[in-house]
């Protein structure tokens, strides 16, 4: 549900891969465009799966975007007449994305942020936990588990068809060839440390 607030605020759209996060963000962009609002969309430079100058959902819905390497670069593009700033795949940015989001919201700008809330290990991903804590609005989406058909909250990484190891690199840009949505009980990580032992 979109909030009707005066001034700026932060809203986060999160969930596993294939949950429709980018699709939901593009829906919000379209609504802003229909309302004649000035919107600037950003994505991390490393996410070049489909395009370097667009955010594109897995089912090919798209919106123009600016690729940046560091979160602070966002401020170079924001003008006095900017109504909304949209950031997709925020988990790939440095922690400064949190400060940028807070700064923009304090300036009266609507900030819409999308990203994976968990990494392939099932752990909180990058700056997303702080963004979730600071947001006025959070939309947590689920995908469909490919094993059970139940709601999927995790992203399963596959390497040559087998579950990834815990100590594999945290960032691996890919789509359906490397990842699939899984429910908790079907999410597998090889050599995952046991945090609590009885």
Q: pLDDT tens digits, residue range 40-75?
A: 999 998 766 656 687 888 777 888 999 999 999 999
Cα 22 from Cα 1, distance rounded (Å): 16
Class level of CATH domain 9-141: alpha beta
- Check residue 174 and give its pLDDT: 60
**Out of 60-64, 142-146, 157-161, 174-178, least confident range:** 174-178
- Token duo for residue 66: 């600016």
Residue with tokens 């395009």: 51
Active site annotation includes 180: no
**More confident site: 176 or 81:** 81
Catalytic position from the list 89, 102, 177, 185: 89
- Token duo for residue 65: 């975007």
Q: Are 10 and 136 in contact (CB under 8 A)?
A: yes
**pLDDT tier at 172, thresholds 50, 70, 90:** confident
Tell me the pTM.
Answer: 0.90
Answer whether residue 175 shows pLDDT above 60: no
Q: pLDDT tens digits, residue range 106-138?
A: 999 999 999 999 999 999 999 999 999 999 999
């Amino acid at each position: 549900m979109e909030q009707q607030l005066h001034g700026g605020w932060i809203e986060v759209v999160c969930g596993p891969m294939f949950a429709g996060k980018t699709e939901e963000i593009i829906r919000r962009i379209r609504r802003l465009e229909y309302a004649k609002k000035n919107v600037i969309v950003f994505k991390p430079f490393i996410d070049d799966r489909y395009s370097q100058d667009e955010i594109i959902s897995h089912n090919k819905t798209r919106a123009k975007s600016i690729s940046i390497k560091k979160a602070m670069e966002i401020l170079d593009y924001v003008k006095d007449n900017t109504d909304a700033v949209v950031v997709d795949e925020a988990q790939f940015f440095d922690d400064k994305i949190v400060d940028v989001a807070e700064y923009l919201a304090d300036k009266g700008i609507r900030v819409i942020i999308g990203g994976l809330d968990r990494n392939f290990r099932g752990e909180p991903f990058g700056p997303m936990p702080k963004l979730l804590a600071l947001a006025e609005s959070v939309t947590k989406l689920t995908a469909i588990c490919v094993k059970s058909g139940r709601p999927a909250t995790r992203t399963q990484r596959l390497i040559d068809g087998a579950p990834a190891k815990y100590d594999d690199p945290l960032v691996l840009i890919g789509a359906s060839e490397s990842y699939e949505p899984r429910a908790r009980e079907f999410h597998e990580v090889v050599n995952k440390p046991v945090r609590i032992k009885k």
